Structure 1
């Protein structure tokens, strides 16, 4: 865990509000009506949600979650409809509605902007920005609407999920079985919420070291002991269909990776947009050829890890389809053709390509004078001891490709518990803000660490040394749905973990360090 959780105890700064439904966000949700609120659910009735059929599919999907989240909180299911406006006629009638859509994509939203003369200059053209507010007479026959408008696809998606979290639905509701606090009334302020472009353009996670826990579990529960024919992966259609209650279909009889569906949803709820998929005995596009189309459909930017150039799952794909040695010095044409196929396969989708071949860690080559084209992002990594090895110097900060960070959460092999906040705030200061990717192992042990990394990349301006401790207390209160005093006990346990680890170097801990049978020994 991260050492800043310790600060909550050492500095004596633990504080709580009466209830936590969002962490570090502008709040625009209320659970009782007032003269300055707009009803989402009131007196057992839900306000209808309107979209247009020409909206991005990922926004349509997030709107389905939005309605489901309202029901989870209130027990009331609001209607969700695609509507059209022809002349002065709206295809669905209601006096008050919620209108969701993307500027320049949703014909419904564009008509609202035109009819109500709505000022969208605060978000127009901004990467992943959104705003929400009440609008009077947005369309003919509609008296009032609460509009959630994104500057682009993910901006709209984030606007929806931002409200869902404020309603009380944790991003981890499925992955960590987080309970939802119930409310009979659900309202938003007329002034609404908004957020500009994020601090870091691409914010994501890397599923790595997923063996043994996740793979072994899937192999035991969903196979006869043998994985997929080409990759040996246990993530087959039995796993995907049994893992949860819904399966997304792109083509007839094509069952899509529900495991990654929930990965995609989790990322978007946390305001992430980027994923390096699992690599142990797996290859994202080979395990299921619909994986990348599905990611793009949701709005996730796909990449591959530092050892997998040009969107190919190497070494798995090379072992299956390559020819000759993995050595460009003696096998250039075959490797080049292999890379071209990866680029062509990913061309229709939003992707970030890892460049070059990794034989060993490559920073030394750069330090020795190797240079790359200006439009390639320089991704600096940590040293497995919590320290980012290098940041952009002044002469590197105007490169068109920018710079970023590849970081690890987990158990640093050292007693120096350097915090994520300390290191990533340096990355912000030094303009390493194009891409942030964090290695989360198989994800489950590191929910809080992962969320902080993404949240800080979403809006670095929120968090300072003075309020940093509030993240762990708010997180504990939200995730365990506890009153303040009980949340204090949880946060004390979380905050104390690094203190307990510091008593022995983590690499020296073993099964005999603490007794498992004798209490307090």
Structure 2
């Protein structure tokens, strides 16, 4: 250090305090300033995830598909070895090796614990002098959103399929955000209600895209595209289509499993308590009138059936009975 600066520090206490404060601030490592190549020379990086969570694997599959639109040569590829991985993905507390690596390089990593759908993206240079990109999630959806943030950085629109947004081919894509880049939602549950599907979604799906022998069935091919869009937009909650013209969501084989694959929480709309679709699932001939005053035992059994079916899943329940089709409650 310059001798004049040292003499100033010694002569004036205030400078001594400032010097001590500045000395305590850690410097950003040189490698943190180096952009990480997601695509280099037309080829995508490799990605590694040690866990089995299907939401994260879904996001990785989407990223790989997206990279094939962008890369002039080979897209992003999955590797089964951490040493071979350029992009390392994990959830806090899921893998000790990943936790240790993140803790060594990311001071913010511990802030993920207990947070909701939060992700941290951070470039590092590991002990073998290889540049890597860490994507850490507070939970599975957080990690998935972090993975798909790379798709955005490549230039992929969330509406790539629904709006035919064709991306441009690229030779190089760099992740050059600030070190320890972190995002988290301000609203826990974010989603859509497939309302009035009679006029658009149901006819289009059943007659054009997701042909089925069952009248009014919006199939899992259609729901997969809806769920993928929602995941890309970081939406996590769906109220399924529920008019009488449509086969109820829980009556569609594979629909529930498809929602779980994309990390989508299922709820129901204002007049559909306990995840039941009273417009399409309640049968007056079998169950009697939809009336809690005069037919409470059958109504309770009807609700209980669905709870036993999906009660261990991630759901949002509407509580409080209401008449069908926004109607008033049936009187005695």
* SS of corresponding position for 2:148: helix
For the residues of structure 2 that align with 1:127 and 1:321, how far apart are their CA atoms? Answer: 45
For the residues of structure 2 that align with 1:190 and 1:213, how far apart are their CA atoms? Answer: 40
For the residues of structure 2 that align with 1:36 and 1:106, how far apart are their CA atoms? Answer: 27
Query: What residue is the counterpart of 2:249 in the other structure?
Result: 284
Query: What residue is the counterpart of 2:225 in the other structure?
Result: 262
What TM-score do the two structures reach when normalised by structure 1?
Answer: 0.52
Query: What residue is the counterpart of 1:396 in the other structure?
Result: none
Do the aligned residues in 2 keep the contact of 1:135 with 1:145 (CA within 8 Å)?
yes
Do the aligned residues in 1 keep the contact of 2:121 with 2:179 (CA within 8 Å)?
yes
> Which residue of 152, 177, 180 corresponds with 1:165?
152
Query: Aligned ranges for residues 144-183 of structure 1 at < 5 Å?
Result: 144-183=131-170
How far did 1:315 drift?
1.9
How far did 1:81 drift?
2.1
For the residues of structure 1 that align with 2:202 and 2:179, how far apart are their CA atoms? Answer: 43
For the residues of structure 2 that align with 1:68 and 1:223, how far apart are their CA atoms? Answer: 21
Q: Does 1:129 align with 2:118?
A: yes
Q: Does 1:313 align with 2:277?
A: yes
**CA distance 1:210–1:190, shift in 2 (3 Å):** closer
Query: What residue is the counterpart of 2:88 in the other structure?
Result: 99
**Gaps in structure 1 of 5+ consecutive residues:** 1-33, 84-89, 241-256, 366-521
How far did 1:219 drift?
3.9
For the residues of structure 2 that align with 1:325 and 1:188, how far apart are their CA atoms? Answer: 60
* SS of corresponding position for 1:179: coil
> Which residue of 29, 42, 54 corresponds with 2:40?
42
How far did 1:117 drift?
7.0
Query: What residue is the counterpart of 1:26 in the other structure?
Result: none
How far did 1:101 drift?
1.6
For the residues of structure 2 that align with 1:361 and 1:278, how far apart are their CA atoms? Answer: 13
**CA distance 1:360–1:46, shift in 2 (3 Å):** closer
String of CA shifts for 1:81-106, please: whole Å, max 9, x gaps.
233xxxxxx5x536xx1111211224
Higher RCO (CA 8 Å, separation ≥ 6 residues): 1
- Structure with higher Rg: it is 2
Query: What residue is the counterpart of 2:28 in the other structure?
Result: none
Query: What residue is the counterpart of 2:216 in the other structure?
Result: 233
For the residues of structure 1 that align with 2:186 and 2:92, how far apart are their CA atoms? Answer: 21
Query: What residue is the counterpart of 2:310 in the other structure?
Result: 346
Do the aligned residues in 2 keep the contact of 1:55 with 1:101 (CA within 8 Å)?
no
Query: What residue is the counterpart of 2:262 in the other structure?
Result: 298
Query: What residue is the counterpart of 1:61 in the other structure?
Result: 58
**CA distance 1:179–1:320, shift in 2 (3 Å):** farther
**Gaps in structure 2 of 5+ consecutive residues:** 1-31
Do the aligned residues in 1 keep the contact of 2:217 with 2:252 (CA within 8 Å)?
no
> Which residue of 188, 193, 197 corresponds with 1:206?
193
Query: Aligned ranges for residues 480-495 of structure 1 at < 5 Å?
Result: none
* SS of corresponding position for 1:202: coil
Q: Does 1:334 align with 2:271?
A: no
How far did 1:43 drift?
1.6
Higher helix proportion (structure 1 or 2): 2
> Which residue of 71, 75, 78 corresponds with 1:74?
71
How far did 1:113 drift?
2.9
**CA distance 1:212–1:134, shift in 2 (3 Å):** same
RMSD: 2.9
**CA distance 1:43–1:316, shift in 2 (3 Å):** same
Do the aligned residues in 2 keep the contact of 1:222 with 1:234 (CA within 8 Å)?
no
For the residues of structure 1 that align with 2:210 and 2:39, how far apart are their CA atoms? Answer: 44
Query: What residue is the counterpart of 1:482 in the other structure?
Result: none
**CA distance 1:197–1:44, shift in 2 (3 Å):** closer
How far did 1:143 drift?
2.5
What TM-score do the two structures reach when normalised by structure 2?
Answer: 0.79
For the residues of structure 2 that align with 1:79 and 1:107, how far apart are their CA atoms? Answer: 24
Query: Aligned ranges for residues 431-470 of structure 1 at < 5 Å?
Result: none
How far did 1:343 drift?
1.3
